[in-house]
Structure 1
Amino acid sequence: MFRKWYDLKLQACTASFLGSKLDGEESEKSSDGVNRIPPHCHITIKCTREIAGFNGLSEAVRRLDFSSAVRDVRRFNYICALLELLVGGQRLTHLPGAAQKLLLSMLEQLADQVATSKHNLNALRALVMSVSSARESEKRSCWGRPLGSRALWGHHDHAIARINRIANSIRIQEPGPEVVPKLHDLPEECIREILLRISDHRDLDAASSAWTVMASVCNEQRIWRELVNFHFTQQQIDAALAKNKEDIADEKEFDWKKLFHQLRKMYGLREDAQFAETLSLCRHCKCLFWRSLGHPCIADQCPEYRERLKEAGGPLPPHPVPPAAFLKFFSL
């Protein structure tokens, strides 16, 4: 029993020491432009009498370099989903002041990125509407005034106004006549192949309302059948089909779109399929990191620990951390 406790404490202390040492070396190496350490953040999974810790959202956002992640096309949707969880449901007003300022700064950087790239405009508008509604509901929450520091809310008002100006100034223009071929010039087979690669049903609905050719293709059962097979397992599909035996008398006339929405309500969509990249949790050093960038792991730094891992069967793969699971590490 004592040996097990000693191993756990040694692992936690080593990870903490390694994290502080790497943080100290980060500024020295980055100033020289050589061997920059990828963004990562050590967190406390469980507090005990021997190991006590606290996870700060502001510190984690800073260490994981979310500001740069906004400009990465692979991590953009992850940041949008995280901001949507924090901004929606009056969650923003329950955060500390430093975290509120940091999140609004991230949202402003996201707006600048959308204005530059002209992509994901709908995601930006949804976030702007959420933060604006949260601000309006907070205006008269306490005796006709917002609850909290007037200076802080003044800073928030200026930031929200800047974000609104950026969002309202975005104009997506049709490409000029010199750009060929255009979408309307593509044959129906190409349009179908494009739509078959869309994993979000909301994008299919938006495409249907944009062009009659896309609307006719989106009404094809193949589009929704492929979407069902992408998001759900065969066991889930069979369970839903068993409940709809009366509707599948003729398989050719079966409504796969209806089945998709039924499965979506029953099981939800694949969360890992919604993001090109998510945060990962190292099971050895309890460190959050971006998988494409990696992190300085205790398994790579400590030879003795690496030998123990080999004896135990090898290192464990990192665990993906979706946005909702990321927020559970903090007391919000």
Structure 2
Amino acid sequence: MKCTKEIAGFNELDEAVKRLDFRSAVRDVRRFNYICALLELLIGQQMTALSGCAQKVLLAMLEEVARYATTSHHNPRGFHQLLNNLKALRAAERSAYWGGPLGSQLLWHQNTSKIEKILNMAAQMQIREPNPDSYPKLLQLPEECIREIILRLSDHRDLTASAETCEQMASIVGEQRVWRELTKFHFTPQQIDIAMPKSNDETDWKTVYHTLKKTYGLNEDRQYAEMLSLCRYCRCLFWRSLGHPCIADQCPEFRARLQEAGGITAPSPVPPSAFLKFFSL
């Protein structure tokens, strides 16, 4: 591609973040985990190498995450993981090279002020218990309802935490069905067949799950309610729930040629790690 000013302007990380409206996406429960995963990849030593504009945009996103997490109490574990990385970033900013941090002193002063503000917001975060007068409580629900709630958890850490709350939850989480459904959610039948024990003993699905997780890792496509998508025709990044004006929809002739070639291909999902590969970081 020609290195023109127009093309370069659309390839900057901060420009992409603004055009995809990541700050508003933070307040969407479907996209919150995606944004947190992206920030987790960027915060740290890699963020100190970003341009000043990108640093400002990403810290603004992080502040929005902090504001949303402290008010809604949504996904506190993911938020605390970001805070741990943020504290490491603050320590990196204080590292000295020839008497001071790399980059503009004004920029680092602004970044430090923003980081302190976010950490202060996190320090005031308190998870309040439900109103004691509100009914029914979780454990007052029929066991079948509690089991259906547990079966919808997609993270084994949530299952472990649930089991530590009381004996009833531990009993439900310990059921083979719970770990079997979690295993089938994250792994393909071919992968499961490889990890299945060869003996005729009863299958321990919790062991099978952790064996597969250690061998293959978790599928990124299954960890987020919504991800960015890449159109195969107009090369446009977009949130799938919002869609985009694709050339395949706007041009009847182009759509007809696609149908003759075998049909329209679905957009490709773009995990956070793949999104960052679009930029020279």
- State TM-score, norm by structure 2: 0.92
In the comparison of the two structures, how many residue pairs are matched?
A: 278
1:158 aligns with 2:101: no
Superposed displacement of residue 127, structure 1: 0.5
CA distance in 2, matches of 1:316, 1:136: 46
Structure 1: tracts of 5 or more residues without a match: 1-46
The answer on whether the counterparts of 2:139 and 2:146 sit within 8 Å (CA) in structure 1 is: no
1:57 aligns with 2:13: yes
Letter in 1 for 2:132: P
Q: Could you report, residue by residue, the CA deviation over 1:76-101 in whole angstroms, capped at 9, with x for unpaired residues?
A: 1111111111114x211111111011
**CA pair 203-144 structure 1, distance change in 2 beyond 3 A:** farther
CA distance in 2, matches of 1:188, 1:143: 64
Superposed displacement of residue 68, structure 1: 0.9
Superposed displacement of residue 61, structure 1: 0.4
1:80 aligns with 2:36: yes
**CA pair 330-220 structure 1, distance change in 2 beyond 3 A:** same
Equivalence for 1:250: 201
1:319 aligns with 2:274: no
Superposed displacement of residue 304, structure 1: 3.5
Superposed displacement of residue 218, structure 1: 1.7
SS of residue paired to 1:130: helix
Equivalence for 1:43: none
Superposed displacement of residue 309, structure 1: 2.5
1:299 aligns with 2:248: yes
Equivalence for 1:183: 138
Equivalence for 1:27: none
1:107 aligns with 2:62: yes
Q: How does 1:212-231 map to 2 (within 5 A)?
A: 212-231=167-186
Q: How does 1:20-169 map to 2 (within 5 A)?
A: 47=1, 53-54=7-8, 55-88=11-44, 90-143=45-98, 145-169=100-124
- State TM-score, norm by structure 1: 0.78
Q: Could you report, residue by residue, the CA deviation over 1:85-144 in whole angstroms, capped at 9, with x for unpaired residues?
A: 1114x2111111110111010010111111221211111111111011122033124145
Identity %: 59
The answer on whether the counterparts of 2:151 and 2:181 sit within 8 Å (CA) in structure 1 is: yes
CA distance in 2, matches of 1:109, 1:307: 44
User: Which structure's CA Rg is the greater one?
Assistant: 1
Superposed displacement of residue 53, structure 1: 4.2
SS of residue paired to 2:97: coil
**CA pair 143-207 structure 1, distance change in 2 beyond 3 A:** farther
1:329 aligns with 2:278: yes
Superposed displacement of residue 177, structure 1: 2.8
Q: 2:231 aligns with which of 276, 282, 303?
A: 282
Higher relative contact order (CA 8 A, sep 6+): 1
Q: Could you report, residue by residue, the CA deviation over 1:295-331 in whole angstroms, capped at 9, with x for unpaired residues?
A: 1112223344333323333322111111111111111
4+ residue segments displaced more than 6 Å? none
Q: Could you report, residue by residue, the CA deviation over 1:237-272 in whole angstroms, capped at 9, with x for unpaired residues?
A: 11112xx43xx4421xx3221211110111111221
Q: 1:233 aligns with which of 183, 188, 191?
A: 188
Letter in 1 for 2:35: I
Letter in 1 for 2:201: D
CA distance in 1, matches of 2:191, 2:171: 28
SS of residue paired to 1:272: helix
CA distance in 2, matches of 1:148, 1:154: 11
